[in-house]
Amino acid sequence: MISQFIIAIASDYVTFIVGMVTFSLGLAGYSGLKFVIFIELVGVNKLPNALFFDTMFDAITTIGVPTICGKVSEITGNKKILFYVNCVAAFLW
């Protein structure tokens, strides 16, 4: 959430890089903890099933989200609106 806010208000190169570094650290933390959380939630025996569903939903969102974001960007004519929406969604999560 913090990284999306920084990227949304970035007006120069340095601020954008700070936002990207913050995003990268958050993504690395998520990726590192994903297996631990899956094992805690479903156990070692059902870990392959959990990883299958995780991969499937990642693939669906990888295909669907850019398409939806492109349409929203075309309709509004503003590309930064996507970052603002993402910030609000992350805050409500």
**Residue 93: its pLDDT value, please?**
61
Rama region for 77: left / alpha / beta (φ>0; ψ in -120 to 50; rest): left
Question: In angstroms, rounded to a whole number, what is the distance separating the alpha carbons of residues 60 and 43?
Answer: 25
Residue 56 has pLDDT above 90, yes or no: yes
Give the DSSP H/E element, type plus range, for residue 92. helix 81-92
**Residue 43: its pLDDT value, please?**
92
Question: In angstroms, rounded to a whole number, what is the distance separating the alpha carbons of residues 17 and 73?
Answer: 23
Number of helices followed by number of strands (H, E) in the chain: 4, 0
Tell me the per-residue pLDDT of 2-50, one tens digit each, with 9 for 90 and over. 887 787 788 899 998 998 999 899 889 888 898 899 999 999 999 999 9
Pick from 18, 10, 1: which is nearest to 80 by CA? 10
> Higher confidence at residue 66 or residue 16?
16
Question: In angstroms, rounded to a whole number, what is the distance separating the alpha carbons of residues 89 and 91?
Answer: 5
